[in-house]
Amino acid sequence: MKRSYPALDMFRLIAAALVVAIHTSPLSGLTEAGDFWLTRVLARIAVPFFLMVSGYFLARGNWNGTNRFLQKTLFLYAASVILYLPVNFYNGNISGLDWVRRLLLDGTLYHLWYFPAAMLGVLIARTLARAGLPAALSVAGVLYLIGLGGDSWYGICTRIPVINIFYNGIFSVCTYTRNGLFYAPIFLLLGAAGFRLRRGLAAAGGVLALLAMSAEALFLRAQNVQRHDSMYLFLPLLMVCLFSLLLDANAGERKSFRSFSLLIYILHPMVILLVRGGAKAVGLQTLLIENSLVHYLAVLAGSCGLAYVLCFLRPARPGAKARAWRELDLSALRHNVHVLQSSLPAGCALMGVVKADAYGHGAVTVARTLWRSGVRAFAVACLTEGIALRKAGIRGEILILGYTPPEEAALLLRWRLSQMVADAAHGQSLADTGFPLRIHLGLDTGMHRLGLPADDYAAISALYQRKNLKVVGIFSHLCVADSLAESDIAYTEAQLTRFYETVAWLRAQGFPTGRVHIQASYGVLNLPEQQSCDYARVGIALYGVRSSDAPVRRPLDLQPVLSLRARVTSVRTLAAGECAGYDRAFQAGRATRIAAVSIGYADGLPRSLPQMGGYVLLRGKKCPLIGRLCMDQALIDVTGAPEAETGDIVTLIGCDGPEMLRAEALAAQCGTITNELLSRLGGRLPVVAR
Ligand SMILES: *Cc1c(COP(=O)(O)O)cnc(C)c1O
């Protein structure tokens, strides 16, 4: 097995130790120049590294995690501000507007500038990233250059009077240019870019960049032009090389290092005070304070100790990948949006159908990704699903495809949801509530499930007379568009004809139709383009799977979005004749190596799966499911993968090495369609986006 080496998380510890060095000057008692190089040059990689890691992970999640990042950073900042209030009091610099200015821009104590800078930086970086990375990096690069002129290159740049006035203006607002505007965006975006250079190139480039940056720093110091020493011309280049090397070596993660390094960052100034106070109290100033190296080590050890205790006290939460999870490939989702949208005629937009927790994919994650890909209309099954999307910040059109009782009409208004009209009585009862409601007229063209009969013009015009109902859309649903049988095609044609006849009649009457829509996934995959449509309500195809393996007329290059994974929890060997599982349903014909897996029918898998020939992927090999599927667990035969061990990842849908388990095949095995299989995947399975 490949040895995991969580380089990114490990480097956080090094970066934290470097930050402590910046604030304790470990070499100052030995060599002034050496200390300058260590704390004002080398250690300046620490904060950019933290920013790059944040940018890297935020971008990998398509910046969806931005709000959570901001909330968490705000919380940490607030806690740190409170923690250091006594120090502010002691220093006497807490009064008045200046403290508020520092709270918002510079941080209330010297190291706390990082938090407001990270928050502002992420907002700027995300906004810039929408324009594409090259453009974003260019703008952030210009901002960095401006910041540089107010930092280590200050004395040189301000020799020009206009520039001097410019920086005077900047510094009347903030103390340094090393902040969320000039400094953070470039590193967040370089992290987001995640450049991967060849290892040799990155190593050589890194060494050269460090040499160049050292020369730059020593030159500027000799010129005595530095106003501050956080920013250098060669720093971004050095960071790109370093980060590339780390990404290259990175495998796995060590989450505990994250909180540990963060706590060292937050707490070390407090420890500096404690060490100094303690040294004075016990008369050890010569050793603990005056010896700069010992002082540094004491502060570092104290910070580590304190951080360790706090980490230990923090209640731990189970990891998302501890048991079983739904893994989303968001780039596949974006790809599918693009492919589907391009397959539609101009003027026809994609309505993302995200009912049933987005067919088991996680409605909020999916809807946010769709929104970022330009989708502005969504369909859900019921009121609760619509409200959940609004609460998650989804704007645009949200259509409820199912019946909503008139008693709930106020909620439709409150959350600005559009309601389909199930029949004439439903329409009347919604109108009777008096609420101004946005509705899509459902027309029954042959499915006979919901909607007003398409030829019941009297009922339709009656609804148009009700002034409080605003018809913003008209639609119908096709019930055999997935079939290429001749009679089914004829049925679909008849449905389409009825639909367009009614639409034409409405237009002739001068009734506004709002948005017209009839195609669902198979309407897109099997029908010619519908010219007069404003939406295609696409569900299953969005997720990159078809309902079944039945052929379609217009196969599109769609990629599956979801993988379903679980873990091996125990491995054992059965002797020939021994049995396993409920009902003794499996009996070993020969010595058999079996494993328990942490997923079961309560997670949405069909209980019949093992009996239907179901299998899983483990270490790139097919392993049959055996015995009865349990509520929370499954048994598999791992005789063909003898290295299997506890903790191994088991794939139930998706790729593992050369093998791929398709949802269509699994659904067919169990006598159902992927729509059912996927939408049943339970809420107990965390959604992990990658
Ligand atoms: C579920 C549903 C859709 C989406 O169907 P797919 O085949 O998954 O694309 C569209 N319209 C209505 C009315 C639906 O109920």
State how far the Cα of 362 lies from the Cα of 249, in Å rounded to an integer.
32
What percentage of the chain has pLDDT greater than the value 70? 99
State how far the Cα of 649 lies from the Cα of 244, in Å rounded to an integer.
27
Of 340, 449, 477, the one to substitute when testing ligand 1's pocket (max ligand atoms within 8 A of C-beta) is 477
Which residue among 5, 90, 110, 582 is the active-site one? 582
State how far the Cα of 238 lies from the Cα of 244, in Å rounded to an integer.
10
Which pTM does this prediction carry?
0.68
627 Cα–ligand 1 center, Å? 36
Whole-number pLDDT of residue 1: 38
CA 675 to ligand 1: nearest atom: 8
Is residue 545 scored above 50 in pLDDT? yes
Is residue 309 scored above 70 in pLDDT? yes
State how far the Cα of 520 lies from the Cα of 223, in Å rounded to an integer.
69
The three-class DSSP label of residue 368 is helix
Residue with tokens 């500038």: 113
Pocket of ligand 1 (CB under 6 A): 353, 355, 401, 477, 520-522, 537-541, 675
540 Cα–ligand 1 center, Å? 8
Is residue 432 scored above 70 in pLDDT? yes
Could you tell me the pLDDT band of residue 92, with boundaries at 50, 70 and 90? confident
522 Cα–ligand 1 center, Å? 9
Whole-number pLDDT of residue 683: 85
- Tokens (6 digits) for 610: 């093992």
Could you tell me the pLDDT band of residue 106, with boundaries at 50, 70 and 90? confident
Query: Going by CA atoms, what residue is nearest to atom 15 of ligand 1?
Result: 401
Whole-number pLDDT of residue 463: 95
What's the rounded mean pLDDT across residues 360-370?
A: 95
In sequence order, what are the residues at sequence separation of 6 or more whose Cβ sits closer than 8 angstroms to the Cβ of residue 162?
none
CA 359 to ligand 1: nearest atom: 8
State how far the Cα of 172 lies from the Cα of 182, in Å rounded to an integer.
15
Is residue 380 scored above 60 in pLDDT? yes
- Looking at residue 537, its amino acid is R
Determine how many CB atoms are found less than 10 A away from the CB of residue 469. Answer: 22
Q: Among this protein's residues, is 359 annotated catalytic?
A: no
Which residue among 154, 355, 500, 535 is the active-site one? 355
Whole-number pLDDT of residue 94: 67
Whole-number pLDDT of residue 532: 83
- Looking at residue 617, its amino acid is L
Question: Could you report the per-residue pLDDT of 268-297, keeping only the tens digit for each?
Answer: 999 999 999 999 999 898 888 889 999 999
CA 475 to ligand 1: nearest atom: 13
Query: Among candidates 375, 378, 379, 387, which has minimal Cα distance to 416?
Result: 387
CB 350 within 8 Å of CB 344: yes
Residue with tokens 């006594």: 86
The three-class DSSP label of residue 597 is strand
Is residue 4 scored above 60 in pLDDT? no
Whole-number pLDDT of residue 251: 78
Q: Among this protein's residues, is 176 annotated catalytic?
A: no
Q: Phi and psi of 645, rounded to 5°?
A: -145, 165
Average pLDDT, the chain: 94
Nearest 5°: the CA angle 563, 568, 572 is: 150
Is residue 2 scored above 50 in pLDDT? no
401 Cα–ligand 1 center, Å? 9
Could you tell me the pLDDT band of residue 67, with boundaries at 50, 70 and 90? confident
What's the rounded mean pLDDT across residues 179-199?
A: 95
State how far the Cα of 441 lies from the Cα of 513, in Å rounded to an integer.
9
Of 401, 495, 524, the one to substitute when testing ligand 1's pocket (max ligand atoms within 8 A of C-beta) is 401
478 Cα–ligand 1 center, Å? 9
- Tokens (6 digits) for 165: 């006035």
- Tokens (6 digits) for 602: 């309560």
State how far the Cα of 98 lies from the Cα of 92, in Å rounded to an integer.
12
265 Cα–ligand 1 center, Å? 51
